[in-house]
């Protein structure tokens, strides 16, 4: 009897493990609130040090800096938690400390007008805390051109209309680079029947990412060398590494599939 019970339990575990991945399909996922879209919780070491985890707000940083500056020059990983940031790193001018030094942005500690030391820890270590932030997302959003998905801001148009100015060079971190000619737009034929062709703009992507952020680690340099599917994009690979997590999500099909079908 015990052997029979053990066999049944083993089969149940095997069946569950085979079908568990399919639990992500067939259900409509909850869309994050506009102010939460793109937020990343960093908690490699914070909880172990009795600190609240860091809530990194992509919208606040992308309004001021290019993606390339942070992910190439400063060296942040593209995966949440992948950088393994220590507090000592920041205080030594690495990662967050590249900017949060009291010059480019607020430092971990500041001195008040009365000479008193003031801690800025809660401005980053904010998960689960009541924090009165200096910049409110919804007040910021009111001034920006709108779009349907993500955090509701058309970032490309905001940059084109000079509502935001992107910084792509950080003194002491970045190196002066010679400008190279940008490749032109090109078409990508969809694998799904009756879907319009994708018109990929190097100019738009290079403005934010440069070349190094995408090539060669995410995409091969030679076009067409690495085929990929929409399912891989929805799983967070290739274009999906940014689109769905920070840039407008993949469910906004018409933002990419733009070539008219006649």
Long-range contacts of 154-162 (CB under 8 A, 24+ apart): 155/62, 155/247, 156/204, 158/63, 159/207
Q: 178-262, which class in CATH?
A: alpha beta
Residue 140 is predicted with a pLDDT of 97
pLDDT band at 120 (very low <50, low <70, confident <90, very high): very high
Q: Which fold has domain 40-138?
A: Cytochrome C3 (3.90.10)
Cα distances (Å, whole numbers) of residue 81 to 36, 54, 140, 229: 17, 10, 27, 26
Asked if residue 240 lies in contact with residue 229, where contact means CB atoms within 8 angstroms, the answer is no
Q: Which residues pair with 70 in a beta bridge?
A: none
Instruction: Select the more confidently predicted residue: 114 or 176.
Output: 176
Query: What Cα–Cα distance (Å) separates residue 79 from each residue in 48, 139, 260?
Result: 21, 29, 35
Predicted TM-score of the model (pTM): 0.84
Tokens 């997302």, residue located: 137
Mean pLDDT, to the nearest integer, of 17-34?
Answer: 69
Give the whole-angstrom CA distance, residue 63 versus residue 197.
30
Is the pLDDT at 6 greater than 60, yes or no?
Answer: no
Domain with CATH 3.90.10.10 in the chain: 40-138, 178-262
Residues 6+ apart with CB under 8 A from 254: none
Integer Cα distance of 80 and 241 in angstroms: 11
Looking at residue 115, its pLDDT comes to 81
Nearest to 35 by CA among 162, 125, 144, 164: 144
Please tell me the number of Cα atoms within 13 Å of 82 on its side-chain side. Answer: 7
Query: Which tokens sit at 195?
Result: 């879907």
What pLDDT sits at residue 24? 62
């Amino acid at each position: 009897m015990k052997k029979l019970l053990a066999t049944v339990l083993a089969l149940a575990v095997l069946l569950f493990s085979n079908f568990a991945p399919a639990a992500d399909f067939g259900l409509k996922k909850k869309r994050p609130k506009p102010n939460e879209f793109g937020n990343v919780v960093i908690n490699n070491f914070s909880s172990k040090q009795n600190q609240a985890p860091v809530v990194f707000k992509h919208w606040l940083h992308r309004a001021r800096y290019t993606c390339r500056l942070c992910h190439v020059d400063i060296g942040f990983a593209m995966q949440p938690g992948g950088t393994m940031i220590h507090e000592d790193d920041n205080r030594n001018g690495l990662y967050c400390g590249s900017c949060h030094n009291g010059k480019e942005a607020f430092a971990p500690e500041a001195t008040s007008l009365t000479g008193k030391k003031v801690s800025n820890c809660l401005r980053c270590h904010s998960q689960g805390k009541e924090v009165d932030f200096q910049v409110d997302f919804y007040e910021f959003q009111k001034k920006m051109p709108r779009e349907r998905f993500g955090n509701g801001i058309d970032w490309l148009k905001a940059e084109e209309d000079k509502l935001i100015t992107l910084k792509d060079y950080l003194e002491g971190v970045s190196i002066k680079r010679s400008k190279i000619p940008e490749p032109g737009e090109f078409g990508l034929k969809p694998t799904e029947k009756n879907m319009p062709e994708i018109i990929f703009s190097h100019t738009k992507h290079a403005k934010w990412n440069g070349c190094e952020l995408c090539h060669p680690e995410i995409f091969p340099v030679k076009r067409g060398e690495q085929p990929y599917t929409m399912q891989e994009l929805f799983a967070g690979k290739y274009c999906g590494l940014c689109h769905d997590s920070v840039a407008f999500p993949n469910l906004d099909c018409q933002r990419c599939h733009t070539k008219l079908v006649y």
